[in-house]
Amino acid sequence: MFAELSRRVAEKRSQGIDVISLGIGDPDRPTFDYVVEAMRAAVANPSTHQYPSNRGREEFRDAFARFYRDRFGVQIDPEREVIPAIGAKECIYNLCFAFLDPGDVALAADPGYPVYTAGPALAGAQAVPLPLVPELNFVPDLDAIGEQTLERARLIFLNYPNNPTGAVVPQGFFDRVVELAREHQILVVHDNAYSETTYDGYVAPSFLATPGAKQVGVEVFSLSKGYIMTGWRCAAILGNAEAVDSYWRLKTNIDSGLHEAVQLAGVAALDGPREPLEQMNEIYARRRDLVVTALREIGVQVNSPRGTIYVWAPVPEGHTSTSFAELVLDRAAVVISPGSMYGDNGEGFFRISLTTPDERIAEAVGRMRDHLT
């Protein structure tokens, strides 16, 4: 579907049509200056030019331990409970090969990040979707998982604040996840990509702050979105020491680790001031309000998200997610993402990314108002 959408966009642009993309979640602002300066200094240091250790630099692991202590109230052992990852995608994918054998099951949020289902499939295992539906505020019904599925389950992938729905985790849900994982010996993988991108006073928790979480799970923390570092591929896996070690043992046979200059830039990001993140969130909140207002004006009943860089909305009556995305592209020359791209339970919704400059978002929502009302 992405390929067909890209083809149609290219076709329109070849005809001289100004197409505005609200599809991909890649921040439009540059990485914060203090992170760039740290990278510039680090890459000029010859000590960063050799093979990195897959265990990561001590400064990197210590920075994550400090950040988790100060931000989430979580104590992390920098020697055993954290190592670098070359972006969250790499980490999530490789966890599938570290923990899944043919015949095993991974429980995967649906709609969700496509790697939650593609990774298990490539590892020869089965991804079983956990439906995220609006009636349950986009939180999976853990009681609805069949006993036979739970017996085969080895991993469960969760993500809050949630991509693509923008949902935040309700109080008590992580406690229930810990109970389920402990009872059935399932490793919880919480993809914490958006905890630093929140609005309206909401502060996102870490899964690892849940009592017992480190006994049953890990968290993948990415600097991509909150710190505007998508291209840097800088992340870490934290939590259960045995699981972290298993991931490391696989990883040593696959890659040579995260560039040490990037690790030092990550240290600067984690230790840096909070004001740039807060200013970026103010920009996203302004864009969110612009999009939500415009959608409501054309009759789309949409909730205003308190986290992530996305607006998740139901398609108008009479449309599928794909047909509505095609209509918006054809009439308004605006790209939105059909919800079906993120799993079967994404059908009936579409996603708009807030990572486009304000004036282009204003132009895009103006076109949608003009051409869809």
Asked if 337 contacts 353 with a C-beta cutoff of 8 angstroms, the reply is: yes
Considering the domain 33-271 in this protein, what is its CATH number?
3.40.640.10
Backbone angles phi, psi at 280, to 5 degrees: -65, -40
The DSSP H or E segment spanning 190 is: strand 187-192
Residue 9, pLDDT score: 82
Q: What is the mean pLDDT of residues 110-138?
A: 97
Structure tokens at 355: 């990572």
Residue 206 has a pLDDT of 98
pLDDT confidence bin for 24, thresholds 50/70/90: confident
Sequence ranges of the chain with CATH classification 3.40.640.10: 33-271
Residue 27 has pLDDT above 70, yes or no: yes
Measure the CA–CA gap between 148 and 106, rounded to whole angstroms. Answer: 13
Separation CA 160–CA 173 (nearest Å): 11
Give the pLDDT of residue 1.
Answer: 64
CATH of domain 2-30+275-372: 3.90.1150.10
Amino acid at 308: T
> Do 292 and 332 form a contact (C-beta atoms < 8 A)?
no
Do 109 and 116 form a contact (C-beta atoms < 8 A)? Answer: yes
Residue 330 confidence (pLDDT) = 92
- Calculate the alpha carbon distances from 269 to 67, 266, 275 in Å: 10, 5, 12
* Bridge partners, residue 349, by sequence: 314
Residues 6+ apart with CB under 8 A from 75: 65, 68, 69
> What pLDDT, on a 0 to 100 scale, did the predictor assign at position 2?
66
Q: pLDDT tens for residues 283-319?
A: 999 999 999 999 999 889 899 999 999 999 999 999 9
Query: Can you tell me the mean pLDDT for 188-215?
Result: 98
Secondary structure (3-state) at 361? helix
The answer to whether residue 373 scores a pLDDT higher than 80 is: no
Contact present, 304 and 289 (Cβ < 8 Å)? yes
Task: Write out the residue limits of the CATH 3.90.1150.10 domain(s) in the chain.
Answer: 2-30+275-372
